[in-house]
Structure 1
Amino acid sequence: DYAVTGPGPKRDLGSADFTNAGPKRDLGSADFTEAGPKRDLGSADYAVTGPGPKRDLGSADFTNAGPKRDLGSADFTEAGPKRDLGSADFTA
């Protein structure tokens, strides 16, 4: 799902959500930087607060020990479409 080819390093080439213009932007975009911290400032899905399943990487759900996955969301499992950042599909 997260191919390494294309303009973005961790881009889901098959999903409009994972374009630079989409709500869940490419990790290579300015909104999704280490300093950000890796959150799309324009998307409620990546807010620090609220019940969103795709929370800010700086939240308790998205910690390095997690490893950077929302343990409460099926979207962020190894089998899900938006896989764990620690998986082979979504590595640095």
Structure 2
Amino acid sequence: MKSKTTILGASFITLAGLLTVGPAMAYDGTNCEAPGQCWEPKPGFPEKVEGTKYDPKHKESELNKQQESIQAMEKRNAMRVEHFKETGNWVYDVEKLK
């Protein structure tokens, strides 16, 4: 009885191991130039997106939003630092400095 339980347990462990290894070894349909460099377009999509119907065509103003917000933040911080150097009092709300 004990040997049947051991064999059954070993069979279960072997089966579980095969089930977890199987998907990892499956072919994923990519053609890799080198390990980790496996990008390729999905079937039906162009090799390059620019100039196709899939091109998002971002507006220049949309692309510059982050840079504009960073510049505004730097300007506010400069105002805070200038006020702090003059008075020794840190004021977070820039509206109070005007």
Give 1 or 2: higher helix fraction. Answer: 2
TM over 0.5: no
Which structure has more relative contact order (CA 8 Å, sep 6+)? It is 1
How high is the TM-score relative to the length of structure 1? Answer: 0.18
